[in-house]
Amino acid sequence: MFDIVRYFRWQDILDILVVAFVIYQLISIIRGTRSVQMVVGLGVLFVVYAMASLLDLSVLTWIMRTSLSSLFLIIIIVFQQDIRRALTQVGQSPFQKHADVVEKDLDEVIRSVFYLAKRRIGALIVIERENGLGEYVESGFILNAKLSKELLISIFMPVSPLHDGGVLISKGRIEHAGCILPLTQNPYINKRYGTRHRAAIGISEETDAVILVVSEETQEVSIVQYGSLTTINDEMSLKTNLRAIFLDKKKQNSFWQDWVGRK
Ligand SMILES: Nc1ncnc2c1ncn2[C@@H]1O[C@H](COP(=O)(O)OP(=O)(O)OP(=O)(O)O)[C@@H](O)[C@H]1O
CB 130 near ligand 1, within 6 Å: no
Residues 72 and 110 in one domain: no
Number of domains in the chain: 2
Residues 131 and 208 in one domain: yes
Which atom of ligand 1 is closest in space to residue 218's alpha carbon? 25
- How many CA atoms lie within 13 Å of 114's alpha carbon, on the beta-carbon side? 13
ipTM exceeds 0.95: yes
Q: What is the pLDDT of residues 17-37, one digit of tens each?
A: 999 988 887 777 776 666 777
Residue with the nearest Cα to atom 14 of ligand 1?
Answer: 196
Residue 240 located in a structural domain = yes
With beta carbons less than 8 A apart as the criterion, state whether 173 and 102 touch.
no
- Gap from CA of 196 to ligand 1 centroid (Å): 3
How far, in Å, CA of 165 to CA of 196, rounded? Answer: 8
Residues 147 and 231 in one domain: yes
CATH number at residue 222: 3.40.1700.10
Which residue segment(s) compose the domain that 56 sits in? 2-78
Confidence (pTM): 0.69
Residue 87 located in a structural domain = no
Q: What is the pLDDT of residues 171-219, one digit of tens each?
A: 889 999 999 999 998 888 899 999 999 999 999 988 889 999 999 999 9
Question: Within a 10 A sphere around the Cβ of 218, how many other Cβ atoms?
Answer: 13
Q: Are strands 141-146 and 123-127 parallel, antiparallel or unpaired?
A: unpaired
CB 231 near ligand 1, within 6 Å: no
CB 153 near ligand 1, within 6 Å: no
Judged by average pLDDT, the poorest of 8-22, 88-102, 225-239, 246-260 is: 246-260
Residue 213 located in a structural domain = yes
Q: What is the pLDDT of residue 107?
A: 93
Q: Which letter does DSSP use for residue 99 in this model?
A: P
Residues 44 and 121 in one domain: no
- Gap from CA of 197 to ligand 1 centroid (Å): 7
Residues 149 and 33 in one domain: no
The mean pLDDT value for 216-240 works out to 94
Residues 121 and 221 in one domain: yes
Question: Within a 10 A sphere around the Cβ of 181, how many other Cβ atoms?
Answer: 28
Residue 84 located in a structural domain = no
Residues 121 and 246 in one domain: yes
Residues 45 and 148 in one domain: no
Residues 70 and 157 in one domain: no
